[in-house]
Amino acid sequence: GNSVTQMEGPVTLSEEAFLTINCTYTATGYPSLFWYVQYPGEGLQLLLKATKADDKGSNKGFEATYRKETTSFHLEKGSVQVSDSAVYFCALRKAAGNKLTFGGGTRVLVKP
Amino acid sequence: DTAVSQTPKYLVTQMGNDKSIKCEQNLGHDTMYWYKQDSKKFLKIMFSYNNKELIINETVPNRFSPKSPDKAHLNLHINSLELGDSAVYFCASSPYERSLLNTEAFFGQGTRLTVV
């Protein structure tokens, strides 16, 4: 079956540090890949997405590249802010309207 | 306007009670979902409906019964609540057009259910 594995947190960083959250997936074919973010006390929001190999998704300074050869979709940001403190979820979808399969989530805490 | 709205936001109830959580989306999407997020933040699909028809039913106890009166609504009814049902339940929706493989799901704000 499909699965998503992401690094366990929490990840604690200082402001302006570089952030990387690893995500790898197992799926047949060519799934679409997503990063969602959940700020404290809120629901999930889409952060970025990519639908085919070598696509790069980007938003709010975050980037992730769809790597078919390593089945990975690592999330990066060059300079984090306190407001980036949240739980980040990597997810995949095999077909339109199909369910999202989520990784376990990575809690990120950015300290001033 | 809120795209996916759930009510209530918080629900505290005693074991053995029956409760419902309502979900509505105004995005015109064909597909709606219920996800459960446990205390460790792990998210798992429970149900998915497409145009009022059940298409995904993961291994969820039959005390949980989704109901979709129309494609804009997907309510979750839970019978005989147990302590282990305490979690945050998220409703979501997405389009079903096969050509739009990169469409994301839109999530509600969540309902925090606490069973005491």
A99-109 per-position pLDDT tens digit: 889 999 999 99
CA dihedral B10, B84, A102, B45 (to 10 degrees): -80
Average pLDDT, chain B: 90
Answer with the residue of higher pLDDT: A96 or B14: B14
Q: Lowest-confidence range among B8-12, B90-94, B104-108? A: B104-108
Dump pLDDT digits (tens) for A48-78: 999 889 999 999 999 999 999 999 999 999 9
Give the model's pLDDT for residue A43: 87
What is the H or E stretch that residue B36 is in? strand B31-37
Which residues touch B115 (CB under 8 Å, ≥6 apart)?
Answer: B13, B14, B15, B81, B82, B83, B84, B85, B86
Average pLDDT, chain A: 93
Q: Which residue has the tokens 């590249």?
A: A65
Give the model's pLDDT for residue B99: 53
Contact B87, B71 (CB under 8 A): no
Distance (Å) from the alpha carbon of A44 to chain B's nearest alpha carbon: 6
3-state secondary structure of B85: helix
**Tokens, residue B85:** 């049902």
3-state secondary structure of B89: strand
Give the model's pLDDT for residue A97: 60
Dump pLDDT digits (tens) for B22-35: 999 999 998 899 99
pLDDT at position B52 over 90: no
pLDDT at position B74 over 60: yes
* Whether the bond into B8 is cis, omega within 30 of 0: yes
Measured CA to CA, the distance from residue B32 to residue A86 in angstroms comes to: 25
Instruction: Please enumerate residues of A whose Cβ is less than 8 A from a Cβ of B.
Output: 32, 34, 36, 38, 42-46, 49-51, 87, 89, 93, 95-102, 104-105, 107
First vs last C-alpha separation in chain B: 34
Inter-chain residue contact B50 with A97, CB threshold 8 Å = yes
Q: List Cα–Cα distances, B29 to A8, A17, B14, B65, B98, in angstroms.
A: 33, 39, 34, 21, 13
**Tokens, residue A106:** 């990575």
Which residues touch A83 (CB under 8 Å, ≥6 apart)?
Answer: A110
Amino acid residing at A18: F
Q: Which residue has the tokens 């074919």?
A: A29
Chain A residues whose CB is inside 8 A of the B43 CB are: 44, 89, 102, 105
Q: How sure is the predictor about A29, in pLDDT bands with cuts at 50, 70 and 90?
A: confident
Chain B residues whose CB is inside 8 A of the A101 CB are: 45
Inter-chain residue contact B90 with A44, CB threshold 8 Å = yes
Q: What is the mean pLDDT of residues A24-31?
A: 89
Inter-chain residue contact A43 with B90, CB threshold 8 Å = yes
**Tokens, residue B30:** 């064909």
pLDDT at position A24 over 90: yes
Give the model's pLDDT for residue B97: 64
Q: What is the maximal distance between C-alpha atoms in chain A?
A: 43
Inter-chain residue contact B107 with A44, CB threshold 8 Å = yes
Q: How sure is the predictor about A4, in pLDDT bands with cuts at 50, 70 and 90?
A: very high
Give the model's pLDDT for residue B58: 81
